[in-house]
Structure 1
Amino acid sequence: MRLKKWMGIILSAAMLLALLTGCSSKSPAEADSGSKQSSESKEKTGGTVGILIVTSGSQWCNDIVDSVTEAVKGEGYDVVVSDSQVSVDNELSGMENLINSGCKAIVVNAMNPAGLSDLCKQAQEKGIYIIGWSDLLVNYDALVEENPKEEAELIADAMADFVDESAGEGSEMAAIWLSDSANPDTTAGVFKEALEAEFEETLVKGKGVNLVNSQYATDSTKAMDVTEAILAANPNVKLIFCQSDEMGVAVAQTLEAKGIGKDEVMVCGLDGSEEALNVIAGNNSTLRSTVYANTKLIGQKVGEAICKYMTDNTAENVIAEYVLINSDNASEYVTQ
């Protein structure tokens, strides 16, 4: 009797174990289905990322392309670039082409962001993630948060120091702006307004500086020609601001070719291009300062933000940070 009782217990336990094993195991078909789902999930992380830039003639724009590309390719994405070549018409057609090419995300670095409003909306309606480089952009998912006022303050303070140390109050100043900054609705126009306001406050009112000449240039060659014209009209100019480092380097070369030294005239640029950093680090050029925005790091963060959005639908802005570069710290930022 006792033996029958124990046999019953053992039999019940065996049946329970078999039942549990059956519930937890998967059939070959189920296992294959799970494998397919995993494979499909991996495939969904791929696709194409589009990058719209103002011009490939700018190192700043090329840094954006290189750094975003490196970040997203590591996660399995392809990259297609549209170069607007400083043309609003090209910008519109380039954005349209990126949308129609099946991009999952588009980085928008534009001259006329407001003019892309309808196309950005069209892209979003197709489920394309839009991350822009200007808060003038309408219909976006995330932004690179720039701070024109901070940049303007840094460069104006540097020029004010030169006035105190060398030029003296009442010095003459010239400015060479990017050609598209004449339009206040462009990104360059927004920065121009911030810079002009700060120059007025810090240099004109604060140091008695006279802004005697203001010109526009499309590239470094044009900047050289403009510099010649400025020197002819205003030979006593002591400060020259350039809205890009490409122009700043060109202006400095023009001055130095005329025998004008770094203690006579101060040239300031903007963006912190690699060439400008090297020139400033050498401490022998009239190009004495620029504001460095680590475009490569920003681009990397933009790429990472795109990958994060594709993974979990979390949209994140990227904050730009700025550093004033002069001969004291330029070598720290030069690429080895």
Structure 2
Amino acid sequence: MAGGNHSGVTEFVLLGFTDLQELLFVIFLLIYITTLGGNLGMIVLIKTNSQLHVPMYFFLSHLSFLDICYSSSITPKLLSGLLAEKNIISFNGCMTQLFFFAIFGTTEAILLAVMAYDRYVAIREPLHYVVAMSRGVCVQLVVGCYAVGSLNALVHTSALLRLSFCGPNLVNHFYCEIPPLVLLSCSDTWLNEMMMATCAVFIITTSVLAIVVSYACILLTIWSIRSAEGRHKAFSTCTSHLMTVALFYGSAAFLYFHPFSRHTEDQEKTASIFYTMVTPVLNPFVYSLRNKEVRNTLRRATNKLLSCRYSHRSRSNHTEAGITCHSGVIRRNESDT
């Protein structure tokens, strides 16, 4: 059997979690709903408020979109599997899930590096920020992130499709991931292992290096600011991004720097939960709670919504009162007649 098309396996069984499935279903469902609500809310907030139409929030809206996409590529199947006796996924479905998850995960990794560069330009060259990070430049950077993510996903999916899977078909994970799939193959997987390690090290290392260099320059710039208030304001715009980077890259590095080492099953699944579910749900809260502009915009939007509801309710009460008074006049006139 020379390739995946000659594989004897037509479906995989995702072993996932064997204990406390009902409780995990409720927890993961709440996390997923919160992820969708928080990130969609962030996108709507940015799109509908002109004060947030700047490069930083343009990238943040795409970060929220990516969080929704790569969480949605994993969580619905996980939730359905927790309610079923066996979490079965077809061979083509498994490859499709892996492909889209790789696109969105890789794109987010590179986008975080782009966001670090954006913060560097904003703090280092504030007077030329709008020109240096024009709309066209921002669009090109985002398109570049998606292009690299798509290329990485295509390479790994194509490499998996050339493998043969003779059985068993039990994937010791809660979604289709490259390391557990490669372990099930009856073909020579040396090329897949090398590509996996090389791409992971290259993407994560270059992205982290870009982030470190950007923040080193940012720290030097902040150090040259004389006023303590100015230093605090400059650094406060970066803390949210640093927290997101730590969460995302910490779990990703654990999984992909040593993808074929003998981590315990619980360690791999715990790191994967942080990578696929915890980070997407925390990002909108990290940025909204740590960012003064987002907090102020959210507060104004909430106050506007509440005032509109109060005004509508007041108009409804006045209308009902008018109808009652008018009816009372008619009844009195009828009685006089």
Q: Pick the TM interval, shorter chain.
A: under 0.3
- Which structure ranks higher in relative contact order (CA pairs < 8 Å, sequence separation ≥ 6)? 2
Q: TM-score by structure 2 length?
A: 0.25
Q: TM-score by structure 1 length?
A: 0.26
Greater strand proportion: 1
